[in-house]
Copies of this chain bind each other. A is one copy, B any other.
Amino acid sequence: MSDKKLIQSRDNIVEAAGRTTQGFGLGRIIGQLYALLFFSPEPMSLDDMAGELKVSKGSVSTNIRELEKWGAVRRVWIKGDRKDYYEAEVEFFRVIKSGILPFISRKLDSSLAAVSESRELINAGDQLKSGDKSLADFYSRRLDLIEKAQKKLSALFKLPLW
């Protein structure tokens, strides 16, 4: 096997990772970056990564900090070198637990603010015509369903599964 074949097999996964993150609405580069570091025996600098992926340094900077937030990569210091180097956190489940799940959780929380708002809007009104009242009751029961699901979901997210 030539070195070229090895690089090719790595690039194959890099590309797939990019497609995957793109498919989940996270952009292509973030997945490619993680895969690149995951298959790098040595830490890489921003310029290294930009060069390998043929993308701008600005993109690498932005995306690598996103990955850092998730705990998917970490910065490593190399003595006598001013550049920032990064390596991948290779324990997937640590990334999922400490990075991805909280990320999803936060997104959901922010959308649930609307539910509380609507609940207040509905509860606030007391003087109702009879037709409106039955519709308000219906809405109220629907909101109950959402809150029930919310509780189940957040309990699930807190479960120590791994």
- A-side residues, CB < 8 A to B, are 1-3, 5-6, 8-10, 12-13, 15-17, 19-20, 23-26, 38-39, 41, 90-93, 107-108, 111, 113-115, 117-118, 121-122, 124-128, 131-132, 135-136, 138-139, 142, 145-146, 149, 152-153, 156, 161-162
Contacts and interface: CB of A to CB of B under 8 A. Distances in A.
Contacts of A138: 41
Contacts of A152: 92-93, 162
* Copies of this chain, tallied across the complex: 2
Contacts of A108: 20
27 contacts: A1-B122, A1-B125, A1-B132, A6-B122, A6-B132, A6-B136, A9-B122, A9-B139, A12-B114, A12-B117, A12-B121, A16-B111, A16-B114, A19-B111, A20-B111, A23-B111, A38-B142, A41-B135, A41-B138, A90-B142, A92-B145, A92-B146, A92-B152, A92-B153, A93-B149, A93-B152, A152-B162
Contacts of A146: 92
Contact of A25 (B23, B113, B161): B23
Interface of A is mostly: helix
B90 A6 contact: no
A121 B5 contact: yes
A53 to B, nearest CB: 16
Contacts of A145: 90-92
